[in-house]
Structure 1
């Protein structure tokens, strides 16, 4: 399959040609659009109703999103490369629907995919110069699952180089992504390109990866729903790793319902990712049945003030306190504050890196290039980012836990004694108080200014618990600051408690309806 070059000027050069070709095929097909597609806040269910009513086709929808991308890029710098086969794939799905009268779960739905997830025939660079020409021959298993459900990979999204930075999304190849709510600010990292694109309605739904923050942080900063699911619920094979023992891939969407639809087709065992073995017997076939507007009634929620009260921005603090009141107003019992014994001690020494081993295994398995086999090769090829260069060099000198005082080996949430102890402490308190979830702000501060890379990065709560314990954590919009910057509230559950999290986040979302699109 051919692919568009990753060079930014070339990408913009090809966009108008792509649009013209798409419009030509749309006008000459037997399925002509009956109305102009209003992309703003369009959901999967609305799209499928439109398909069934004959209002427009998937091909029309893909063309409309391509026009939206052309209009907004490179202002946001969210998209790295288009799928040159997207229109053809949409046309084939339209033909299938005409012949069968049936829609697959994600039939004809355009997806924005983070640039560290393998997509067959489409560049997968990890934001790096070393992989700027790498187009995988096969899809990552989760991408194949999305395609089997009828989804279309519309484009790849910009990201922090090698997913190193939770602060912003800046790659050597494509530069810095801007927050669509205020382009002087970051969308956070490392999945900031997906967040900016979905917030700005460049695609229906998106995918990010989360090692510590990178689904939930950008989702919070861009008024999106972000699902970091239980470690082991979805496969990570075919994805460029950061810290594989933490890495999770998940949906970044404008609604809880859409995120649930995407998550539902991604779950399950993958023999290429042994950690998914733990999910066997713990997944469900129908997560949509938990979309309950009354899902907060009789639920018990603990408020983790040790996080929410850690030097918060006053406006974020006010939004969070209002969110807690709203949860109570929807029938939940609030335990405030929630105290977890030895929390600060347990959270220490959790980070554990074997980046060199994981990345070099990815290079050997998927890239298979004589010139890019090691971290030394990546450093030799070069980067524009001093931050990324420092992290690459550090990975050569450092392997293991971020503390010389701890001799415990690196492991995942099912085998690492420190991670298990941290999770047991949290879930033990949840059990003793019969809590369904714990809540705290996803960030205690609004999105930083792009030019304030160091000092502006404050208040990231996503890194502290779930990446280490393996627990699922979902972020949902909780409003905006007076400057119009989004904020999110995070719901932390027990292992494999996605049904409860869907119930509660959906009920909160529907009761408050905080999400609104940026004024671009």
Structure 2
């Protein structure tokens, strides 16, 4: 594992799987009004089970009923990070966390005090969350997973983080990512290799794999990732989670370290469709610091939870995008599970249309990748934000000497080698000849129109296809993200992935629903109906509920 430049809280000795010292959990009970020692152990066991099984909605109900406190929840998640983050028993450890927030318990105590006074901010009041470490946090460094930026500090929170804090969410930790969001295995020079809790010999997906693996391992209740081409949806699928890539312009990107301005969005990962709706309620809408969100004005409902209807599939029209149904041996199991998901949707009343191959659409999508053209321009703009703090020695590596640029980061060499090579190829692309870039922009506009026409001509509410064509790869092997991520990323259309079940060897598979711009209510309704009919999600066996012993 790569060395870390930060210090986590002191770890306990290696613990047996599913066992943690009673001192980790008993403070949880004290926070909820514990009683006898036997009663404390019983209550601690309930909390340990709740944080694994319950979604944020369920935890909110427990908080409202007084059966747990936010302090209790934070301590329970911290105990799980202590137990499962690093090597334990016969497991190498999930390694999803770059940095824990040392102020989480104090924030939780303040929110508990607000609740006792009768002030509840909303359904996320007191809910612990995880943040991908490319989201700005004023109280913690924002590293982008890189040793080069391990000391990078920003003046304020990213807009979505600020809105979640205002809604009462508690940041427990910032999570690992594929460095600079430039890959799908979730390995970085600062955080090392994150592992999939469903099989710790495998990748968690990426680039938001730390958030995905951390939620699957119950290090937090919900989380934020970013998606430039599948970086929310891929880890959601590989970790039996729900993930949303929202419409471009629905939610602010302000304070999210960019990869590509025309493709980047920030979006939630969670255990349930309802939790996704709760996060959208807190984060969606106009932000003057992100001009793209002008498109959201008048298109954000009072609450996305109103769309959660377990009859939403009845009379819906679903188009199966057969271009993305793999037929190779490694892809067949995923294709079979997605076909089973489509049969379930049809059984719930949906009309299913198998779409013939769409060569023109596929060609336009594949020809409109802009990451290499935009990364240097957009990252340099982000790094120049007023109030940013960093080592002056980093800024002096390349001109100009008064600010950090991608060129400084490349020259530092403090980047995981595979990502460093990708960054090198992007130097100068934003300032060089732009004819090819404008051609790719034109192909992107073409792709959007072809996709609109496909949905309109077939009167479709959504397209459906595998989120990722095959299960998570073994670490050391190349992760195959497939082409499907680009359909939403290169057009700006929203896409929701929900669990579609498991392979025979217990690896999660996701099914993706794509809709027209700002059709999130429709997608959430369809996903919720399917979720309620199947309940495919189950927690990973390698990170079970903790039990106390003496």
Q: Evaluate the alpha carbon distance shift between residue 427 and residue 359 of structure 1 in structure 2; reply closer, same or farther with a 3 A threshold.
A: same
CA distance 1:101–1:142, shift in 2 (3 Å):
closer
Distance 2:456 2:29 in 1: 60
Contact 1:41 1:254 in 2 (8 A): no
Q: State the Cα distance separating 1:358 from its structure 2 match.
A: 1.0
Counterparts of 1:359-378 in structure 2, within 5 Å, are: 359-365=379-385, 367-369=388-390, 370=392, 371-372=394-395, 373-378=404-409
| Residue 187 (structure 1) aligned with residue 204 (structure 2) | yes
- Please show how residues 278-317 of structure 1 align to structure 2 within 5 Å: 278-309=295-326, 311=328, 313-317=331-335
Match of 1:71 among 72, 83, 86: 83
Structure 1 residue 276 and structure 2 residue 307: aligned?
Answer: no
SS in 1 for 2:338: helix
Kindly tell me: are residues 471 and 326 of structure 1, through their superposed partners in 2, closer, same or farther at Cα, counting changes over 3 Å?
same
- Per the TM alignment, residue 505 of structure 1 is displaced from its structure 2 partner at its CA by 0.5
Partner of 1:10, secondary structure, is coil
Question: What SS does the corresponding residue of 1:354 show, helix, strand or coil?
Answer: helix
Match of 2:444 among 406, 415, 419: 419
Give the counterpart of 1:450 among 475, 479, 493.
475
Please name the residue that 2:349 is paired with: 331
State how far apart, in whole Å, the 2-side matches of 1:497 and 1:59 are: 37
Q: Which runs of 5+ in 1 are unaligned?
A: 1-5, 411-415
From the superposition, tell whether residues 8 and 224 of structure 1 become closer, same or farther in structure 2 (CA, over 3 Å).
farther
* Secondary structure in 1 matching 2:340: helix
User: What is the rounded CA distance, in whole Å, between the counterparts of 1:304 and 1:29 in structure 2?
Assistant: 51
Match of 1:385 in 2: 416
Q: Do structure 1's residue 511 and structure 2's residue 533 form an aligned pair?
A: yes
For 1:491-506, what aligned pairs fall within 5 Å after superposition? 491-506=513-528
Q: Is the aligned partner of 1:354 residue 2:370?
A: no
2:254 is equivalent to residue 234 of structure 1: no
The structure 2 residue matched to 1:93, chosen from 111, 117, 124, is: 111
Distance 1:313 1:384 in 2: 32
Residue 82 of structure 2 aligns to a residue in which SS?
helix
Structure 1 position 387, deviation (Å): 1.0
Do 1:187 and 1:196's aligned partners in 2 also have CA atoms closer than 8 Å?
Answer: yes
Query: Distance between the aligned counterparts of 1:20 and 1:450, measured in 2?
Result: 34
Q: Aligned partners of 1:519, 1:407: CA distance in 2, in Å? A: 46
Q: How many residues align?
A: 503
| 1:442–1:488 contact (8 Å) kept in structure 2 | yes
Superposed displacement of residue 397, structure 1:
4.0
Contact 1:341 1:425 in 2 (8 A): no
Alignment deviations for residues 378-425 of structure 1 (CA, whole Å, 9 cap, x no partner): 122223522111111111143489x99846267xxxxx4322221111
1:49 Cα shift? 2.0
For residues 29 and 300 of structure 1, the distance between their equivalents in structure 2, rounded to whole angstroms, comes to 49
Alignment counterpart, residue 242 of structure 2, candidates 225, 228, 241: 225
1:15 Cα shift? 7.5
Per the TM alignment, residue 115 of structure 1 is displaced from its structure 2 partner at its CA by 0.5
Residue deviations 1:194-249 (CA, integer Å, cap 9, x gap): 00010111110011000001000111111110000100000001111011210011
Q: 1:378 to 1:101 in 2, by over 3 A?
A: closer
The residue number in structure 1 matching 2:398 is: none
Map 1:401-420 to 2 at 5 A: 406=436, 408=438, 416-420=441-445
Give 1:172-211 correspondences, 5 Å limit. 172-211=189-228
Q: Secondary structure at the match of 1:125?
A: coil
Which whole-Å deviations, capped at 9, do the CAs of 1:397-454 have from their partners, x for residues lacking one? 43489x99846267xxxxx43222211111112112111000000111111111113x
1:465: how far off? 0.7
Q: Answer with 330-339 or 262-271: which moved more.
A: 330-339
Mapped to 2, the partners of 1:243 and 1:407 lie a distance apart of 13
The question of whether the paired residues in 2 share the 8 Å contact of 1:349 and 1:406 is answered with no
Partner of 1:124: helix, strand, or coil?
coil
Q: What is the CA deviation profile of residues 98-144 of structure 1, one whole-angstrom value per residue up to 9, with x for unaligned ones?
A: 01253523100000000000012112100111110123331111101
Tell me if 1:126 matches 2:138: no
Question: Which deviates the most, 194-203 or 462-471?
Answer: 462-471
Once residues 52 and 161 of structure 1 are traced to their aligned partners in structure 2, the CA distance between those partners, rounded to angstroms, is: 39
SS at match of 1:446: coil
TM-score by length of 1: 0.91
Residues 346-381 of structure 1, C-alpha deviations (whole Å, 9 max, x = no match): 223201122111111111105344433122211222
Report what 2:59 is aligned to.
Answer: 47
* CA deviation map 1:16-48 (0-9, x unaligned): 9xx999979767768558722021121222222
State the SS of the aligned residue for 2:7. Answer: helix
CA-based RMSD of the aligned residues comes to: 2.4
CA distance in 1, matches of 2:11, 2:267: 30
1:112 equivalenced with 2:130 (yes/no): yes
On the 8 A contact 1:354/1:400 being kept in 2, the answer is: no
Q: Secondary structure at the match of 1:7?
A: coil
- What is the CA-CA distance between 1:294 and the residue it aligns to? 0.9
Aligned partner of residue 80 in structure 1, secondary structure: strand
Q: How does 1:479-490 map to 2 (within 5 A)?
A: 479-490=501-512
CA drift at 1:159: 0.6
Contact 1:441 1:461 in 2 (8 A): no
Residue equivalent to 1:320: 338
Contact 1:178 1:185 in 2 (8 A): yes
Is 1:61 the counterpart of 2:73? The answer is: yes
Q: Relative CO higher for 1 or 2, CA cutoff 8 Å, sep ≥ 6? A: 2
| 2:29 is equivalent to residue 7 of structure 1 | no
Residue 20 to residue 146, structure 1, CA distance change in 2 (3 Å): farther
Q: Secondary structure at the match of 2:486?
A: coil
SS in 1 for 2:125: coil
Q: Are 2:279 and 1:259 aligned?
A: no
